[in-house]
Chain A
Amino acid sequence: GQQLNQSPQSMFIQEGEDVSMNCTSSSIFNTWLWYKQDPGEGPVLLIALYKAGELTSNGRLTAQFGITRKDSFLNISASIPSDVGIYFCARETSGSRLTFGEGTQLTVNP
């Protein structure tokens, strides 16, 4: 019940295309987090969501906290080569621990 199911596992797109990925769970969460990991680096927080139905943007990135509190979506508009990386959803558990999804590997072709 605490596992995060993230899809798709990988995406290959052309520069300028929009991207959408999602994360689901059988459990209800109070917080959804989206991270990006550049190759060879640690993940960096992109967006944090705290309320069901919340829609939050960060530049070309938009994330939504699902109404059921069991899913979340991340959209990237007008992709550019530097969007390449692995995108993770995550949730907080007790003790401020984070559980991560398996990630979506994004490749952007120029």
Chain B
Amino acid sequence: SQTIHQWPATLVQPVGSPLSLECTVEGTSNPNLYWYRQAAGRGLQLLFYSVGIGQISSEVPQNLSASRPQDRQFILSSKKLLLSDSGFYLCAWSPGQGPGYTFGSGTRLTVV
């Protein structure tokens, strides 16, 4: 069966520090991968998605970047965090056909 792992679960970082959040998927190959951000427990905003290794599409301009160094690994990064980067970050994967969208358990990021 397929599983998605996301870590860390919580993170407190100072303004201006770098960020690296990692997401991995097991039990499938060539998944579509996604990074979402959720502010204040409300709607989810799509940040990045990837349909293959090295293929990254950005939905909104921001202080973040994403990379996919391996087929089942998706990384969200920042060189210098801003206060506005605080939020709940969710990784997700899908097989590319049908509504098989599975989310990770999320990372709560607080920038102080």
Contacts and interface: CB of A to CB of B under 8 A. Distances in A.
A105 B41 contact: yes
B92 A95 contact: no
A103 B43 contact: yes
Interface residues of B, number: 23
Contacts of B96: 96
Contact of B44 (A41, A44, A88, A92): A88
Contact of B106 (A31, A42, A88, A99): A42
A41 B34 CA distance: 16
Interface string B37-72: 000011110100101000001010000000000000
A103 B42 contact: yes
B2 interface: no
Interface of A: 31, 33, 40-45, 48, 86, 88, 92, 95-103, 105
